Structure 1
C-alpha cells in the first residue's frame, strides 16, 4: 500500500473540504507514492515523535494537529516546527494531519469523547450549513434504476442513517433531434419525440459534485442529459462542531465530575459554579470549544465539556450551564485510538502504532 491509499481512506472518514478555512490538514510532508512501511499515530508532530517513527520503522506519521499551521518562508531549523520538518524530510518520513476536518464529522473527535462517557443518542451539536447539493435529472422510466444505482454508488442519496434516498415523479419529456444528434430514442433529423420519463432528485455532499456528475453521465442512456444542480442551505446533520448526548442515568454534579475525571484520565478540571441539579444531557467538544457555548445552552445541555477556556469566558455560563475545561491535550488524547481503529479496519499489511512520546506541553504541579 502507498501513502496515497492511506490518505484517501482517511479522507473518506474526514474529507479535507470539511476543514476550517484557517486549517492545514492533509499531507504536509512526503511523497504520496511511497510504499508504507509502518504508521505512527500521534496527537502532535514533534522532533521526538519523528525520532520515535525512525526507531519503530514507520515512514508516515498520522497526527491530529498539523505541524505547519502558518506559512513558512524559510526552513532553517530556528524553531521546533522547522526542525521537525527537516528531520522528517531527511529520514523520508511523511507527515499527515487530520485536524478540524476530523473535528467536524460524525464519529470524529467529539464523538470519541461521547463514546468514552457512555453517552446515548449522540448527534452533532452545531451542524454546518451550505454543504449539500441536490441533483435533478430526467431519465426514461425504464432506465431509472440503472441511473439511480450509478448515483448511489457515487455517494448520492445518503441522509443520516438512510441510504438510496431519492424522489421521483413521472411525466412526459419531449425533444427533437437535429441532423448532428445521435439519439437513444428516435432518429437524427427526425420528428419531435415524446418519452415517458422520471424526474429524479437526489441529495449529496457538495464535495462529491464531480464524482456524482461523472456517475450520472456514465449511468444515463441519453446523449444530452437534462439536469440541474441546486446548492442547499440545509443543515448537514453529519457535519459540524461538537457533539451532544444523554447519560443512561442522571448523575449528581460532583459524581459526574469524578466520573469525567476518571473516564478522560485527567488530573484536574476547571469548572464554573455547580448549579445543584442533576446531570443528564452532556455537550462536548474536543480542543478549544468556547465558540460552542451558545449551542450547548440552546440544546439544553446541563454541562459543556471542552478546553482552552479563558478567565472571562467562564462568566458566560450565566449560571445556566456548567462549563468544564479538562485541557486541550486531555480532551483529544483518545483521538489516536480513534484513528488506529479506523485504519486497522481497512489495512492489515503494515504495522500501526500509537505513539508513546508525550507531547502535552502543559504540565501540572500538585
Structure 2
C-alpha cells in the first residue's frame, strides 16, 4: 500500500472537506505515492515522535494536530516546527494531519469523549452548514431509473436514516443540435421533443466528483444539462462538539470528579457549581470557548472543553458549569481511536501507537 491508500481510509472516516477553513489538514510532508512500511499514530508530531518513527521503521506519521499550521518562509532548523520538517524530509517520512476534519466527524473526537463518559442520546452540538448539495438534471424518461440507480450507488440521495431519496417530475424537453452535434436521440439540425424526467437528489459535498462522474457516465445525452446548488440546510451528522445525557444524573461536584477520572485529567478548572443535578453534558475537544453559547442554548448542565480564559468563566452565569480539563487531556484518546480504526482497515503493515507524551503542559 502507498501513502494515498492510508489517506483514503482516513478520508472515509473524516473527509477533509469538512475541516475548518483556518486549519491545515492533509499530507503536510512527503510523497503520496510512496510505499508505506509502517504507520506511527500520534497527537502531535514533535522531534521525539520523528525519532520514534525512525526507530520503529515507520515512514508515515498520522498526526492529529498539524505540525505546519502557518506558512513556513525558511527551513533553517531555528524552530521546533522547522526541525521536525527537516528531519522528516531527511529520513523520507511522510506526515499527515487530520485535525478538525476528525473534530467535525460524527464518530470523531467528541464522540470519543461522549463514549468515555457513557453518554446516551448523542447529537452534534453545532451542525455544520454548507455541506449539503443538490443536483438537478433532465434525462429521457426511459433512462431515469438507470440514472437514479447510478447516482444512489455513488452516495447521492442519502438523508439521515434514509437512502435512495429523490424527487422526479415529468415534462417535455426540446433541443436542436448544430452540424457539429452528435445527438443520441433525434437528428442534428432538427428540433426534437423528448419526454424527460427532472431528477433531483441531494448529496454531501465531498461526494461531488463521484456523483458528477456517475451522471456523465450514465446519462445518454451528448450534452448533459444539470445544476448543482449548495443548500443552507444544517447537517445533523457533521459539526463541532456533541451533547448527550448521563443515564443517571449526578450532583455537579460528583460529575466533575467522574469526568476527571474518565478523562484522566490532572486537574479541572471550572466555574461556580450549580445546585441542579448534571444530566445533559456538552463536550468539545480542544479550544471550545466559542461554543459556550451553543452549550447553554442546548440546555447543557455541564460543558467540558479546554483553553478557557478568565472571563469565559463569567459567562456561565449560574446556568451551566464550565469545565476546562486541558487541551491535551480532551484529545489524548484520539490517537488510540485512530490506531484501532486503521488496524481494522489495514493488515499489510503495522499501525503503531506512539508512546511519546507530547503534552507541553506540566503540573506540580
| Contact 1:176/1:193 (<8 A) preserved | no
Matched with 1:312 is: 311
- The equivalences for 1:272-311 within 5 A come to 272-311=271-310
Q: Secondary structure at the match of 2:96?
A: strand
| Contact 2:14/2:101 (<8 A) preserved | yes
**How many Å apart are 1:134 and its aligned residue?**
0.8
| Contact 2:174/2:191 (<8 A) preserved | no
| Contact 1:242/1:285 (<8 A) preserved | yes
Q: Secondary structure at the match of 1:145?
A: helix
Q: Cα deviations across residues 244-271 of structure 1 (Å, max 9, x unaligned)?
A: 1112222222222122112111121111
**How many Å apart are 1:160 and its aligned residue?**
2.5
**How many Å apart are 1:106 and its aligned residue?**
1.0
| Contact 2:280/2:300 (<8 A) preserved | yes
- The equivalences for 1:89-128 within 5 A come to 89-128=89-128
Q: Cα deviations across residues 92-132 of structure 1 (Å, max 9, x unaligned)?
A: 11111111111112111111111111111212110121222
Matched with 2:222 is: 223
> Structure 2 stretches of 5 or more lacking a match?
none
Residue 268, structure 1, aligned to residue 270, structure 2: no
**How many Å apart are 1:364 and its aligned residue?**
0.9
TM-score for both structures, normalised by structure 2: 0.95
Matched with 2:247 is: 248
Matches of 1:208 and 1:39, distance apart in 2: 27
| Contact 1:3/1:34 (<8 A) preserved | yes
Across the aligned residues of Structure 1 and Structure 2, the Cα RMSD in angstroms comes to 1.6
Matched with 1:74 is: 74
More divergent stretch after superposition (152-161 vs 54-63): 152-161
**How many Å apart are 1:238 and its aligned residue?**
2.0
Matched with 1:20 is: 20
Matches of 2:50 and 2:180, distance apart in 1: 62
| Contact 1:272/1:322 (<8 A) preserved | yes
| Contact 1:303/1:322 (<8 A) preserved | yes
- Residues 181, 248 of structure 1: alpha-carbon distance in 2 compared, 3 angstrom cutoff: same
Matches of 1:191 and 1:290, distance apart in 2: 62
**How many Å apart are 1:235 and its aligned residue?**
0.9
More divergent stretch after superposition (352-361 vs 221-230): 221-230
**How many Å apart are 1:29 and its aligned residue?**
1.0
Matches of 2:211 and 2:286, distance apart in 1: 34
Q: Secondary structure at the match of 1:71?
A: coil
- The equivalences for 1:132-151 within 5 A come to 132-151=132-151
Matches of 2:338 and 2:179, distance apart in 1: 57
> Structure 1 stretches of 5 or more lacking a match?
none
Residue 131, structure 1, aligned to residue 131, structure 2: yes
| Contact 1:180/1:189 (<8 A) preserved | no
Matches of 2:165 and 2:277, distance apart in 1: 40
**How many Å apart are 1:180 and its aligned residue?**
4.0
**How many Å apart are 1:179 and its aligned residue?**
4.5
Matches of 1:76 and 1:224, distance apart in 2: 54
Matches of 2:84 and 2:226, distance apart in 1: 50
Matches of 1:252 and 1:142, distance apart in 2: 64
Matches of 2:272 and 2:92, distance apart in 1: 51
| Contact 2:281/2:302 (<8 A) preserved | yes
Matches of 2:191 and 2:49, distance apart in 1: 71
Q: Secondary structure at the match of 2:296?
A: helix
**How many Å apart are 1:223 and its aligned residue?**
1.7
Aligned residues: 364
Matched with 1:161 is: 161
